[in-house]
Amino acid sequence: MSFLASALLHDLGHFPFAHSLKEVITVSHEKLGSLMIQSSDSLGKAISESGARLSWVCQIIDSSLKPDNSEIELYRSMLSGALDPDKLDYLCRDAFFCGVPYGVQDVSYIIDNIDISGNRLCISSASMPSIEHLLFSKYLMYRNVYWNRKVRSATAMIRTAITDAFDTGTLVQEDLFGLDDGSFFELCRQRKIRKLRLVENARIGRLYDDLETSSPSDVLAMEEYRRKYPGYDIIIDVPEHISFESDLLVSDIGKPFSECDQVFDQAKIRDLARTLRMARIFGRKEIDG
């Protein structure tokens, strides 16, 4: 029951654009979630009445907490790993609602073929293609949906505005905790943050243009781009690092998936991540507002 409760509650600490603000927020959404659970009498009571242990639920969600036992480590790998229920859910769900075929998984087959060896999740070599499918689906969803240039433009605009608000003291990170999208945009309007137009334009889809793309290692200083694109308000977008590795054990081979799979071996995984993670320079003529 503790694992089921943690699976249900593990995203409780999420706030708008949490993943995109990782570099400027000093506390993880998992930590926020565990703190919310511990501070809520009604939620704590519901967890206890379900038969789950509140301390275990928090430890499974928040990996910074010291686990009571090795069983917690197993549950953590189940909740956040190559075959975690979150990933199996959001890839299929996002693909459906975005109208694309890339993320669809054979969830029933995957679940039926997961096993446990020692204190680790494992699969047999016969099930390796299902993991290849999942990882390739993740790659395609990032390439075509999550890191689509329009998505990255909107993300970069909002991140730039919020970072500026933090720098000027208009907002502190705690102001964002517990908000949904609607209350986030309302907060930005109420505080009259200096770069509010970026947030408002992103909200209505009036996005900055994609001026050029490069490797993150080739990104120039902001002043160089301002000279290169006179009259433009410039935003530099460098996506966070992303991994396609899997330490899932292949039981009949006795090695992690990424050490014995020919499609997603460690070298190819690094190449895949490198080709996907590109920096973009966005801009809009300043007279447009």
Q: Where are the domains of the chain?
A: 1-79, 150-241+278-288
pLDDT of residue 287: 59
Cα distances (angstroms) measured from residue 85 to each of 3, 51, 242: 11, 21, 19
Give the whole-angstrom CA distance, residue 184 versus residue 186: 5
Q: What is the pLDDT along the chain (289 residues), one digit of tens a residue?
A: 899 999 889 888 888 888 888 888 888 889 999 999 999 899 888 999 999 999 999 999 998 999 888 888 888 888 877 777 778 888 889 999 999 888 788 888 888 888 888 778 888 888 888 888 888 888 899 999 999 999 999 999 999 999 999 999 999 999 999 898 899 999 988 888 888 899 999 999 999 999 999 999 999 999 999 999 999 999 999 988 888 777 788 888 988 888 888 888 778 888 888 888 999 999 998 754 4
pLDDT of residue 213: 94
pLDDT of residue 220: 92
